[in-house]
Amino acid sequence: MATLKDVARETGLGIGTVSRALSGHPRVSPATRTLVQETADRLGYQSNALARALRQNRSNAIGLVIPDLENEFYTSGAAILQNLLAAEGYRLIVCCSGNDPVVDGELLNSLVERRVDGIAHVPCSREGSAAIRKSNPGLPVVEYARRSAAEEVDSVTGDEERGMAALVGHLAELGHTRIALISGPPGLSTTASRVAGFEAACRQFRLRRRDCPELSGPYDVAWGKTATARVLEAHPDVTAIIASSARSALGMLKELHGAGIRVPEEMSVVGFLNPEWFDVSQPALTTYDLPLKEMGDMAARLLLQRLGGGADDRAPRTVRFDGRLVVRESTGAPRSGRG
């Protein structure tokens, strides 16, 4: 098997230059990187990334643990993180926990074993990354989109409580007094924030709790359908439904369409976050939009600051981004003038 020295000799370059080119270092010119890679491929050279990481005490790799590969919010965030980190010479290793705390912990330990230089983590339990931070206190970790009880890590989230309150306020101003919430799994910070915003706004607009049911379940299409069917059966007076995730919003719309219920003439509907399909849905969905690019950019910058060594002693930062209410055609006055 060819060695790094063989590639260097064949290209006429120094071993250090060849090593930097193969590891994706940003200061190596594209022409040199192409020459080295083509030569390495021709000679059959294969780098041992783990051995290199052990020698250099760094791998130029960042781990990202997300809960769902079908959720546009997380896949879009992964793309943003990858682009920003690649510009600084880092590769992104993406893992999916399926919102399973056991799997989540196993993935975090696996990334530590692979000697990643840092981790961006969407926690699915209260513990979050606390265990690996305790055993690896120098490992940079940033929690993204969700927050756990791990106080010693940086975090980047959206102001979900304010966003949900804005959606309820919009519906209340249209005259709705019977609003259902299709919520997410209990125990997640996103669920807690969205439910808190919903309940606070109901109190503010004097909406009776018994008229505003809350249904909690997975952030997926199946739950959106099931929860909507339960609302239609058990709460026929409800005139507006809020689906607190894009996936459950899709299930909600499918169930309403199957039941022959017109939106917004017979039921106003609202989503949360703002995937592209919300804008082309018929009708387009009213929602609360969070600044995904800015959130991903901040998560990457917090990691890079820690990796640069200049922020090692800095207290953990909690950055929360405001979003914006986006009013579209899926909301209107209550049917038959009823609230």
Same domain, 179 and 285: yes
HSE-CB at 4 with a 13 A cutoff on CA atoms is 14
Residues 139 and 154 in one domain: yes
Please state, in angstroms and rounded to a whole number, the distance separating the CA atoms of residues 284 and 269. Answer: 10
The Cα 249–Cα 220 span in angstroms is 9
Question: Are 187 and 274 in the same domain?
Answer: yes
- Residue 240 and residue 276 share a domain: yes
pLDDT tens for residues 96-146? 999 999 999 999 999 998 889 999 999 999 888 888 888 888 899 999 999
State pLDDT tens for residues 95-109. 999 999 999 999 999
Q: Is the pLDDT of residue 36 over 50?
A: yes
Share of the chain residues as helix, strand and coil, in percent rounded to the nearest 5: 45, 15, 40
For 49, the token pair is 């990334």
CATH number, domain at 17?
1.10.260.40
Structural Rg of the chain based on CA atoms: 24
Residue at token pair 């992964």? 78
Q: What is the mean pLDDT of residues 72-92?
A: 86
Q: What is the mean pLDDT of residues 274-299?
A: 93
Q: Do 19 and 89 form a contact (C-beta atoms < 8 A)?
A: no
11 and 24 fall within a common domain: yes
Residue 46 has pLDDT above 60, yes or no: yes
- Rounded CA gap, 136 and 141, in Å? 10
Pick from 205, 200, 196: nearest CA to 170: 205
Question: Does residue 111 sit in the same domain as residue 201?
Answer: no
**Do residues 157 and 321 touch, judged by C-beta distance below 8 A?**
yes
Give me the residues paired with residue 270 across strands: 242, 286
Mark whether 30 and 115 lie in a shared domain: no
CATH of the domain at 154: 3.40.50.2300
Poorest-pLDDT segment among 130-134, 223-227, 274-278: 130-134
Residue 264, classed as helix, strand or coil, is coil
Number of domains, the chain: 3
For the chain, counts of helices (H) and of strands (E): 13, 12
Phi and psi, residue 296, nearest 5°: -65, -40
Do 164 and 271 lie in one domain? The reply is: yes
d(CA 138, CA 323): 33
Asked if the bond preceding 283 is cis, omega within 30° of 0, the reply is yes
HEC string of 282-330?
CCCCEEEECCHHHHHHHHHHHHHHHHCCCCCCCCCCEEEECCEEECCCC
Q: Tell whether 171 and 252 lie within a shared domain.
A: yes
192, 315: one domain:
no
pLDDT band at 63 (very low <50, low <70, confident <90, very high): very high
Question: Do 192 and 272 sit in the same domain of this protein?
Answer: yes
Q: How confident is the model at residue 335 (pLDDT cuts 50, 70, 90)?
A: confident
What residue numbers bound the domain in which 25 lies?
4-47
pTM value? 0.80
In the prediction, which pLDDT does 86 show? 85
Looking at the fold, whether 214 and 329 belong to one and the same domain comes out as yes
- Binning pLDDT at 50, 70 and 90, where does residue 309 land? low
CA dihedral 254, 268, 216, 178 (to 10 degrees): -140
Model confidence band, residue 201 (pLDDT cutoffs 50, 70, 90): very high
